[in-house]
Structure 1
Amino acid sequence: MPLGQASVVREGADVTLVSLAYTVPMALAAAERLAGEGISAEVVDLRCLIPLDMATVLASVGRTSRLVVVEENPYQGGWGGTVVSIVADEGFELLDAPIRRVAAANVPLPFADALEDRVMPTVDKVVETVRKLAAY
């Protein structure tokens, strides 16, 4: 796998889900569920952050006109903010809706599993975010 080359792991036409590592299977599961509702989600696996393959992300957003970034880092300070910033700077005209992010809450990670589920991104949270974005 060459460094700095993202991969489109699922093609779609309605929304781009950008993910990395742990969140790739989550984005794929959400895309599968959304397909059952008639929403076609393209899933991009960044694979690495440095170098960051924004050409693949921008090409995907160009096809779908919508972007949801899915990351397990806290909403503040995560890599998703960088992706969003670059798309806003270099691909704003490609968008037909606001960019959305599904990320961990801005709190210390709880030890209890039940609390961790409330803080971390989940397939359900991704699906709900995409549903709202698709209706925009």
Structure 2
Amino acid sequence: HKLTTHLVKQYDVIAIEDLKTKNFQKNHHLAKSIANASWRIFRQMLEYKCEWYGKKLIAVDPKNTSRICSKCGYNSGAKPLEIREWTCSKCQTKHDRDINAAVNILHKGSTKLNGQGLAMVTS
């Protein structure tokens, strides 16, 4: 509750991936961790708190967010989860998998805002 309240009070717009946790739970290596993380509940809290505080929550299609180079847009294909860093074969940009995905989520979210800009905030 503290984290979702902090995020909603701090930011006017929050962009997240529209993840289907049931699909992840089919992966036996991830199922327990995902169930324990209560992702669905976290999203529900973000949704109702954004509504309470008059903020905007944007859920974007998660397709290819970790595959596409956030600099040049090249889709480098599937990577196993143990690959945490990679270099784009087209523009040679080095990426952290999670940060690259976050930038792509930001780009997708900003297209849903009808021209209003979004900025990535890191802690």
TMscore range, shorter length: 0.3 to 0.5
TM-score, normalised by the number of residues in structure 2: 0.38
* Greater share of residues in strand: 1
Larger radius of gyration: 2
Normalising by structure 1, report the TM-score. 0.36
